[in-house]
Amino acid sequence: MALAPSASNISIRQTLDILDGSFRSVAAGVAEDRYAFWLGSGISFGKVDGLKKIIPRVIEFLRQRIDRADANCAVASALNRALALAGLSDEEWARVNTGVEFSTWPDRAAIVTRLTNNYARLLEITVAGQPEDYLLWEGVGIAATFANPAIEPDVEHLCMAMLVLEGAASDIATANWDGLVEKAIDELTGGVPKLVVCVRSEDLRQPKLTAQLIKFHGCAVLAVSDEAHYRPFLVARFSQINRWAAALENRAVIGRLTDIAVSKPTLMMGLSAQDSNIQAFFASAEATMRWPWPGDRPSFVFSGDQVGADQEALLRNVYPQVYTAATRDQINEQSLVKSYANPLLMALLLSVICDKLSGMVELVEGTLDPDGKNAIKQGIVSLRNHLSSLDNGDRLEFVKSFADQTSRIMTMFRDGSAGTAPRRYNPLTSTPLHQIAGDQNIPSTGLAEVAVMAGVLGIGIETGVWALEGVDPSDPSAGIVRVQAATGSTKMVLAAHGRAAIRLQQNGHIVDDEDAVLVYSAEKPPTMTRSPRSSPGRTGHLGLREVSMYDLLQATTSSAELMQLFREEAAI
């Protein structure tokens, strides 16, 4: 029997199985924008230095600045206090040699390990004549480490940005100082404002946008660009963490966070919750309004390989009456998605889009019966699973390609133009799942028929009728996908209506008289005029076939009839 995958090696496809299974209510809740995302340093691992790199940097920073001619050197005193926090034995103290680089010390690894869970006290150490945050600002190197404009967003930041644009993540709280979520959104929108970033209470007064990101431990990017206003809000030192909840300047932000914590379940990623202020905050929020257990969905969900000691402490605080020896294991199990943020966020994005498409199937006009609609919805799931399986190990490239290809498909469908790379992310809808049924604009967009087409493609994959081949997004004439069937490989293009189809032709996405299928959402317009440059007479191939999903849906009642009629008209 194969072992279950760990959180570090689980695939996107396997994560989707979890979201389809015991955590289905969580996936549906994310699609409906019910969950608040709480993000920690784990989502920036590999892009921004963690404590394992920061702590040696701080020690070496102090070591290099020791004045060996001064018996009372303030920096040497600070370094001794730092090492004392590591609880060195007499033998380890004897091996300390400040005359050589810290990287060469024989006990370096042990010192770093011990200080990792004591980082706040380390950064609390002051140096005479220097600001209180000297070790943080200069020793850690806030500007170079957390506000470096050369650092690019990773998988987690890009997926988080796409969830925001899909309307599934309107409330985000983070302890991270970096600006990578913000940068990802700027990258995917071409700089169009979508995110309100809040650090200080005054920031809460900004005009509302698609989402709000509360950086409750401060923001390095803002601290560097506006040092006077934002540097004091970088929270790292032990005293800052302890007084965070009581500080007058934080009360409005804490009030907003409390509102989020009591009104939305918590989905925590890359956040160990080890800081005392985070533990105390959730305990305080529980006293304001308690989350029930068991409820209709998990109220606190962690992404990781296991529920750690700090996360158990948080669960004990938020479920004070029911977190007992009898229920502890069950609560822990229901609170843990065994997948790290990297695959989980991509799986959530695919799940959200899949759920939206499935919801749109209910909005189509026509005679398709309930069983037919359910079969189409299952086809959408099959297409989603197929897409997830295309992850070849380079997940950043996979996510970037997904964003580019889906944006290209949507812009070609709506406007008849693929645009130029880098393309802005074009969400399926900017509203969450539960608002789709009441969105009066959707019927006129043709998206419901696109949802049916997605289901048809998925049914074809599931039944082995065809396979899908990717296309080169830099080739204007490549279409959106190629359908490989027994009859051969056929290019496919989607168009919302006749105007979009005309523009597809004008922009070179449909080549005259080529072997391709053009699928309309709306009724099929009069046959497209062939260019006088096209070859006269028989060409030896099928030529362009035009199919209207709207027309097919008026003529079929079952998914089998729909598939048959589509294949006949598309000659696939």
> According to the 3-state scheme, what is the secondary structure of 480-549?
CEEEEECCEEEEEEEECCHHHHHHHHHCCCCCCCCCEEEEECCCCCCCCCCCCCCCCCCCCCCCEEEEEH
What b/e readout covers 517-548, taking b as 16+ CB neighbours within 10 angstroms? bbbbbbebeeebeeeeeeeeeeeeebebbbbb
pTM above the 0.75 mark?
yes
Q: How far apart are CA 4 and CA 366, in angstroms?
A: 44
Q: Vertex 171, ends 167 and 174: CA angle to 5°?
A: 130
Q: What is the pLDDT of residues 264-286, one digit of tens each?
A: 999 999 998 888 899 999 999 99
* In contact, 449 and 549? CB cutoff 8 Å: yes
Closest by CA position to 438, among listed 359, 497, 365: 359
If DSSP states are collapsed to H, E and C, what string results for 62-131? HHHCCCCCCCCCHHHHHHHHHHHHCCCCHHHHHHCCCCCCHHHCCCHHHHHHHHHCCHHHHHHCCCCCCC
Strand, helix or coil at 282?
helix
Tokens standing for residue 32? 């409906």
What is the pLDDT at residue 38?
A: 97
Structure token digits, residue 175: 């302890």
* Location of structure tokens 């989350």: 291
Instruction: Sort 92 into a burial class: Cβ within 10 Å, 0-12 / 13-18 / 19+.
Output: middle
Longest CA pairwise span in the chain (Å):
98
- Write out pLDDT tens, residues 126-145: 999 999 999 999 999 999 99
* Distance separating alpha carbons of residues 339 and 2, to the nearest angstrom: 17
Question: Among candidates 262, 291, 257, which has minimal Cα distance to 277?
Answer: 257
Chain length of the chain: 572
Q: How far apart are CA 498 and CA 390, in angstroms?
A: 32
Q: Which tens digit of pLDDT belongs to each residue from 8-45?
A: 899 999 999 999 999 999 999 999 999 999 999 999 99
How are strands ordered across the β-sheet holding 488-495?
467-469, 481-485, 488-495, 516-520, 544-548
Q: What are phi and psi of 162, to 5 degrees?
A: -70, -35
Cα separation, 518 vs 516, in Å, equals: 7
CB 492 within 8 A of CB 480: yes
* Gap between the Cα atoms of 513 and 501, Å rounded: 14
Cα(524)–Cα(197) distance, rounded to whole angstroms?
Answer: 46
Which pLDDT does position 524 carry in this prediction? 84
End-to-end CA distance of the chain: 40
Give the pLDDT score at 2.
59
Tens-binned pLDDT, residue by residue, of the chain (572 aa): 556 789 989 999 999 999 999 999 999 999 999 999 999 999 999 899 999 999 999 999 999 999 999 999 999 999 999 999 999 999 999 999 999 999 999 999 999 999 998 999 999 999 999 999 999 999 999 999 999 999 999 999 999 999 999 999 999 999 999 999 999 999 999 999 999 999 999 999 999 999 999 999 999 999 999 999 999 999 999 999 999 999 999 999 999 999 999 999 999 999 988 888 999 999 999 989 999 999 999 999 999 999 999 999 999 999 999 999 999 999 999 999 999 999 999 999 999 999 999 999 999 999 999 999 999 999 999 999 999 999 988 999 999 999 999 999 999 999 999 988 888 999 999 999 999 999 888 888 999 999 999 999 999 999 999 999 999 999 999 999 999 999 899 999 999 999 999 999 999 999 878 999 999 999 988 765 554 434 444 344 578 999 999 999 999 999 999 999 999 999 99
At residue 534's C-alpha, the angle toward residues 528 and 540, to 5°, is: 95
- φ, ψ for residue 546, nearest 5 deg: -110, 125
Structure letter (DSSP) for residue 48: B
Question: Which residue from 259, 336, 334 is spatially nearest to 296, judged by alpha carbons?
Answer: 334
Helix residue ranges per DSSP H, 166-318 = 180-189, 220-225, 227-230, 238-243, 251-263, 276-288, 309-318
Q: What is the pLDDT of residue 487?
A: 85
Read off the tokens for 528. Answer: 């497209």
Residue corresponding to tokens 């890009």: 158
